[in-house]
Every structure is written in C-alpha cells, then in structure tokens.
Structure 1
Amino acid sequence: MSGSLERLVFTAYSDANFNTQVGKPFSAWINPASYKHDYAILYTDRQAPGAPGPSPEFNRVGPESVSFELVFDTTGVVPPPVPGTPLPSDGVAGLISQFRALFGTTNGSTHRPNYAKVSWAQLQFQGVLSQMNTVYSLFKPDGTPIRAKMSVTFLAFTSEVQLAKQANMASPDMTHLVTVVAGDTLPLLCHRIYGDSRYYISIAAYNGLSDFRRLRPGSQIVFPPLAGTAA
C-alpha cells in the first residue's frame, strides 16, 4: 500500500448507462471529514382496526442517497488537487460553477442534468445531483470569494438495462465472468454482483490483481460463488 492520498472524485455521464463521460472528473480539493449514506425500505401499514400492534407489509425499496460537505479553499493554504496548478484568479467561484455545470445544469444534448459517479475508495455510487447548497465564508478585499462550504446530495440511479443485468447476476451461488469497461472499479462490481462492495479484497486476491484501483478496460474478472469469496 503506497499511502498516497486518494481524493473524492465526481465523474459526469450523459447517458443512463454511464458509458459517455462528460468533461473531466472533478476532484475534491479537501476530502470530506464524513459523509452520510441513506437507505430506505418502504412498508404499507396493514394493521386492522383495534389490532394490538402494527403489521407492516413490505412495499418496495425506497430511495438511496449519499451526502457530502465539500470545502473549497483558494487562499493558498490548501494545495490544488493537481500539484503545480496555479490558484484560480476568481477564487472558488469558478470551481463551484464547474461543479454545477457538470451535475446541476441541463445538458443541451440530453435535455436533463448529467448523471454522476461518485468514487472514493470503497464508496462507489451512481446517481444524480438532487441538492446543492453553498455558503461563502472568506473574501478578498474586492469581494472575490476564496473559501466556501458546499453541501451536496446525490440520489441513487440505476437504469432499466442495469437493473436487468443485476437481476441476472443476483444469484451469489453462481460464478460470473465480467468484462471491465471504463469507469468500473472492483468495489463497484462487487456491489453489483454480491450486493456488498466489501468483497473486493477477496476478489482481487482470487484474480491475482496487484492493483485493484486500476482495472484495465477489456480485461475480464472472475467472481466466484459467494461462499468461495469467504476465504
């Protein structure tokens, strides 16, 4: 393990299958101190009048979301994500506009905002931006903002095609052979097949992968039955 800093990265895609990337990935200037990952399971109350207790009946899996608080600082105290890059002359305004252009505005070709992949180590999340709030807290004498805190929330999104593929791969007692495409990561693939990204270390060892963070598009990875990953 190199111990190098791995930044939180947001990548925009114009299509629901996350194949066509838009622009360059956006890297956080400062990794968040924490993030919130929400799940919901919805039930229908079938309790009869006068019954002594509730009897909720499963309805459907509800919304899933992930939320971050991102800090932007162009005072010079925090180095840019790319070493050697000069600090922007417009402070944090351009960075926030760039983020909003990627995820919070309508794509002229698709007539809807872009889709987003959120990647940070074991966190691999596909979704759409649902909320973005920015508080500016430090300024140059001319009013240029040089420090801001931005709260963002992404809602999970899965296309119909991906749902069908996941349904076919849903059985953990079967072996799966997956061809890697651009943007795939081992934790994300483990989540698709097993429903849990934590198996990535076992799968990396099973396939003899020395660097699970950099999968080569076109390569194939074997995902054994779930019992076979326990070792």
Structure 2
Amino acid sequence: MGFSGSLEKMNVIAYQKSDFTSEVGRYTVYINPASYSHVYCVKYNDVQPQGSSGGSPEFNRIPSDTVELELVFDGTGVVPSPLPGLMPFTDDGISEQVSKFKNLVFTYNGNIHSPNYLKLSWGTFLFKCRLSKLSMTYTLFKPDGTPLRARAKGTFLGYNDEVELALQARMSSPDLTHVRTVKAGDTLPLMCFRIYGTSTLYLEVARVNGLVDFRRLRVGSQLVFPPLKESQT
C-alpha cells in the first residue's frame, strides 16, 4: 500500500522570545531526516548505605527530553531547493545553506544574550527546544576544496517557559475538577492515581459518575474527577 499526499519538509523555526511568539527566521531542510530519536529521561538519587550490595534509587526529577537528528546539506545540484526561490545553489557550495542554519540555531543573538529559541516542525511532530550540540561533518568537495555536502548532527533540548510549566502544574493539580476521556487499557484506579496520586479514591469517583460497574469502562467515554481528599473515602 502506497502513501498519498504532497511531501512535507521539516522546518526549523527560530524565535527571540521564550514564549515562541516572535519568529526571527526559519530554515526549510533540503532533505528530510531519515530518522530522529526522542529521548526521555528520569533522574534518581543513588541512596546506598556503605557496604550494601545494591543501590536504592530514589526519584529526583524528570529533566527535559531531547531530540537527536541528522540533516544533510547538499550543494551538488542533484537535490532541488525545497521551495522555489528559497535558496538557489551558488558557487560557494553549501556555504550559504550552512550559514543560514547556524545563524538560526547556534549563533549568539545579542538581543536576548543567547542563541535563539527553536521549534522543530515536521508533519505531526512539533518540538520546542534549544540547541545543545551541533556537529558538522563535510563529505564531498570541489577540486578547490569548497564543501559540496555535509551532515549536521544536532542535539536539541526540550524547552518549556516558566508560564507553561506553572500551567502544567496547575492543570495536574488534584485540587481542580478534571474531565478525562477513557482510553484503551485505562482502569478507574489507574486514572485516579494519575490525577490524585493515589488509587484509593476510585469508589468515590465511580459514585460521582454514576458508574454501576467501575471495572468496565467504555473507551471514548468521559469521566469527571472532582477535587477529592483521601479522607472522603
């Protein structure tokens, strides 16, 4: 079975402000990455008494996730420009392509005293981030040494500003009323644990929602999770 629809190119969009409202430029890639990795991490403290045979890791925090990908810059003329008139091929090979990309993601922006804030956008993939590491490998040259092709390996660190972090914390607060849609694999104790931090409130939530059999949740149905305290059970 084939895939239909037009080819969508990845865009790297740069912003001056941490709320991602002031776009200062974007780079549309010539060749979409063959793959990318989205890495999630959990940090633990290694609590291990002296002389013990094994550690007792205790949760510390969930740091920002990272995305790693590789982009190809090509100045051979074999690969067409992603958008008409965006950046025609020049005698200096890939110099203009690489310069524009580095100016957006890496170069120090004097207005904000740091490199730009970034969004990686490709189809359904949208990642707000900042560049953590960039490695350029040049692989093809003109006889005079002008680079014609390069691979850029980038590591991007996920970014949420203070307002968004506060909003996320507020939205997950057990002191608020929540409405959740039941997904495959959900159970009422599990959904209670996600919101309240304990599964012991499932009977009270079942009563609030008028559930006769809390063991059989209908996928796609919506449940109300009111502000509750464990003492209410």
Pair in the same fold by TM > 0.5 = yes
* Equivalent residue, structure 1, for 2:81: 80
Q: How does 1:79-228 map to 2 (within 5 A)?
A: 79-83=80-84, 86-170=88-172, 173-174=178-179, 228=221
Q: Is the 8 A contact 1:42 1:58 kept in 2?
A: yes
Kindly state the Cα deviation for residue 121 of structure 1 after the two structures are TM-superposed: 2.0
Residue 199 of structure 1 aligns with which residue?
none
Cα distance in 2 for residues equivalent to 1:227 and 1:107: 47
Once residues 167 and 39 of structure 2 are traced to their aligned partners in structure 1, the CA distance between those partners, rounded to angstroms, is 24
**In 1: Cα distance, 2:54 partner to 2:137 partner:** 46
44-53 or 159-168: bigger deviation:
44-53
Match of 2:228 in 1: none
Q: Which segments of 5 or more consecutive residues in structure 2 lack a partner in the other structure?
A: 181-218, 223-233
Per-residue Cα deviation, 1:110-155 (whole angstroms, up to 9, x for no partner): 1111010011123211111111111111122332211111111111
Q: Distance in 1 between matches of 2:57 and 2:118?
A: 34
State the distance in 1 between where 2:160 and 2:91 align. 38
Report the 3-state secondary structure (helix = DSSP H, G, I; strand = E; otherwise coil) of the residue aligned with 1:113. Answer: coil
The structure 2 residue matched to 1:9, chosen from 11, 15, 30, is 11
Following superposition, the deviation at residue 228 of structure 1 comes to 4.6
Tell me the secondary structure at the aligned position of residue 136 of structure 1: strand
1:192 corresponds in structure 2 to none
- Closer/same/farther in 2, CA of residues 166 and 89 from structure 1, 3 Å limit: farther
After TM superposition, list the pairs within 5 Å mapping 1:48-63 onto structure 2. Answer: 48-51=49-52, 53-63=54-64
Describe the SS at the equivalent of 1:6: coil
2:196 aligned residue: none
**1:21-44 deviations in whole A, cap 9, x for unaligned?**
112x21111011111211210011
| CA distance in structure 2 between the partners assigned to 1:22 and 1:170 by the alignment | 33
TM-score norm. by structure 2 comes to 0.69
Label 1:52 to 1:148 Cα distance change in 2 as closer, same or farther (>3 A).
Answer: closer
Match of 1:185 in 2: none
Alignment deviations for residues 59-104 of structure 1 (CA, whole Å, 9 cap, x no partner): 0112421111111112111111113653233211111111111111
Aligned to 1:62, the other structure's residue is in SS state: coil
One-letter amino acid matched to 1:46: V
Which structure has the bigger radius of gyration? 2
Tell me the TM-score normalized by structure 1.
0.70
Q: How many residue pairs were aligned? A: 179
Which stretch shows the higher mean deviation, 48-57 or 27-36? 48-57
- Counterpart secondary structure, 2:12: strand
| CA gap 1:50/1:227 in 2 versus in 1, 3 angstroms | farther
